[in-house]
Amino acid sequence: MNIIITGASKGIGYELVKIFAKSKSNTVIALARNHTLLNQLKNECSNQNSAGNVISMPFDLENPNRVKEQLKKEISKHIHSVDILINNAGNLVNKPFEELSIEEMEKSFHINTISPAVLIQELIPLLQKGDNAHVVNISSMAGFQGSAKFSGLSVYSSSKAAIASLTECLAEEYKDQHIAFNALALGAVNTEMLAEAFPDLKAPLNADEMATFISDFAINGHKYFNGKIVPVNLSTP
């Protein structure tokens, strides 16, 4: 399979790449801003499976125009179809609403919503060539309708709600083209992003545990779901 994972340099994305790289039949494109961490990831994957094929691709998703102008070209140098796309990259700002700057709002929506949308748009031709392609958008319980909301997460929550709604729309639009779209609304997971936002919070799951669930869902979820927002959380919304 040909698999693309964004936000691959840390946390859940890092663990996802390691899982998919265990199979020599997979080609995994790992996208993230940090070149050093991506190289570390690639080396770690090579150590666990010398036959694994991980392509590290440093790229900043904060600028949607660059995504449109450059990213598909870079991806197409390595693969000509996409079986799984996991939009995992995220930006979290924990700040009172009245103190948020326009730049902070734009950054969150660019990384959490607009750039994933542009990436999907650009990759539709490659997804159409995939084997029953599956796009998994990583949303959040923070953006799940009816779930508990937290002060300071207004922009993060709303941008994650937007990617969830986009998922439903794309599933309908492409339902006859053998591309499935689903979103996973994740609860708290022990990652660096969570620690920065909530230093005192201990989540019930670690990144590798959540990555194991997501990888299985990415491979098999399209057989059972399309256009669904699936809450992945140990507490009741």
CATH code of residue 63: 3.40.50.720
- Asked if the structure places residue 81 within a domain, the reply is yes
- Asked if the structure places residue 30 within a domain, the reply is yes
- Asked if the structure places residue 237 within a domain, the reply is no
Distance CA 229, CA 227 (A): 7
For 169, the domain range is 2-232
Distance CA 9, CA 33 (A): 8
E strand or H helix that includes residue 195? helix 192-197
Compute, in degrees rounded to 10, the torsion defined by CA atoms 111, 164, 57, 214.
130
Sheet of strand 229-232, all strands in order from the earlier edge strand to the far edge? 53-58, 27-32, 2-6, 84-87, 133-140, 179-186, 229-232
**Domain total in the chain:** 1
- Asked if the structure places residue 212 within a domain, the reply is yes
pLDDT tens string, the chain, 237 residues long: the values are 999 999 999 999 999 999 999 999 999 999 999 999 999 999 999 998 877 899 999 999 999 999 999 999 999 999 999 999 999 999 999 999 999 999 999 999 999 999 999 999 999 999 999 989 999 999 999 889 888 888 899 999 999 999 999 999 999 999 999 999 999 999 888 888 777 777 777 787 899 999 999 999 999 999 999 999 999 998 655
